[in-house]
Structure 1
Amino acid sequence: MARALGQVDERKGEAILDAARDVFAEKGPAATMEEIARRAGVSKQTLYNRFGSKLEIGRALAARRSEAVTAPLRTAGDPETVLTALATALLEKILCGDAGSSMRGLALMSPEAPDIGRVIYDSGPGESLRRLSAWLAEQDRRGLMRVPDPDHAAEMFSGMVLGHGHLRLVLGAAPPQVADIPARARETARRFLRAFAPD
């Protein structure tokens, strides 16, 4: 079957981001573009054509993660369904996979490369909060929720879902034990909605 235009480039881009995530987690500030290219199986020229620096790679990694986590906000479900799906995505990112090593790698890099930390926060968690804030403002406009300060409410929801999960991962402590992620996500969404129920 013939490949669609751009399909090869997209696969290479994803391979680069996957490799960069792993190298950053392992090496922190010592990660090099050359090692990322080698791990991704691409030439240095291909890497630099796609991403001119580690800063650009960090931005792309964070944006990819934000897109995945906030996907429920782009659905047409009722507020409880959407918030439950968002809470589930956040919990799964923290409790499953490589979140701990990625976050520790970023924490190691930030003091030596503060621009990377700022860019990754703004493109990832910061963007996720902005999207949730915009979604909450829309629910307020539609009368489905009463949210006078959507930015504050977005941070509150994130805190309710994650608790100290991020801090534990950065410090290498045991992640929180959640026996039933969907049940925890649903309970969090319901409690949040009670706090912001329309008048």
Structure 2
Amino acid sequence: MPRIAGQVDETKTEAILEAATALFHEKGATASMEEIARRAGVSRQTLYNRFPSKMEIGRALAARRSDAISAPLRTGGDPEAVLTALALGMLDKIIGKDGKGSMRGVAMLSPHAPDVAAAIYEAGPAESLRRLAAWLAVQDRDGRLSVPDPAAAAEMFAGMVLGHGHLRAILGVAHPSFDPEARARETARRFLRAFAG
């Protein structure tokens, strides 16, 4: 069925984002827009219509990851279940097989394109922290937790979940084996004990 005028073909957008992810992992900032278009199987015009620059591609990738990681915060469930699901998502998306390449790709990009790295950080990790801080503020307001500084608590939670995992991912160092579900549950329980209302 032909597309309606102005309708965006989402399969092309996904192909662009997948190609960019792979190329940023392989080449860092030296990956060109032309290479991204070629790898995605789209014309340069299609690429530039959707993403005028590598910065916009980086923002889109980071925002997509942030949305996936922070999805449990939108469920309205029990705090332990929400934080366990959030921790599991962080472990998967940040230090899991696909996440490790993304972390290295951004690290490779940052010295050569600090503006792109800053945009990726703001659209991804910083946005996830803001969402967690907002969720913690609601828990505090409703008396389920006692969180006097939600922004600091959000950073503490991220640190508890990831430990040195994000550093290993950037450096390409093997992770010690662990059970992600057990770690996610344990982290959520310890965090909730620290901020019990």
Aligned to 1:190: 189
CA distance in structure 2 between the partners assigned to 1:7 and 1:76 by the alignment: 33
How far did residue 92 of structure 1 move? 1.1
Which sits farther off after the overlay, 100-109 or 141-150? 100-109
1:37-93 alpha-carbon deviations (Å, 9 max, x no partner): 111111000000000000110011000000000000000211001000000101112
- Aligned-residue CA RMSD in angstroms? 1.5
Percent identity reads 69
**What letter is aligned with 1:159?**
G
Assess if the C-alpha contact under 8 Å between 1:20 and 1:36 holds in 2.
yes
CA distance in structure 1 between the partners assigned to 2:139 and 2:7 by the alignment: 37
Q: Gaps spanning 5+ residues in structure 2: where?
A: none
How far did residue 168 of structure 1 move? 0.8
Mapping 1:72-111, distance limit 5 Å: 72-111=72-111
CA distance in structure 2 between the partners assigned to 1:160 and 1:7 by the alignment: 43
Aligned to 2:156: 156
How far did residue 94 of structure 1 move? 3.0
How far did residue 4 of structure 1 move? 7.8
CA distance in structure 1 between the partners assigned to 2:148 and 2:126 by the alignment: 20
TM-score, structure 1 length as denominator? 0.94
Which sits farther off after the overlay, 5-14 or 114-123? 5-14
Q: Does 1:26 align with 2:26?
A: yes
Aligned to 1:13: 13
Aligned to 2:70: 70
Paired residue total: 196
Q: Gaps spanning 5+ residues in structure 1: where?
A: none
CA distance in structure 1 between the partners assigned to 2:78 and 2:2 by the alignment: 38
How far did residue 175 of structure 1 move? 2.2
Aligned to 2:180: 181
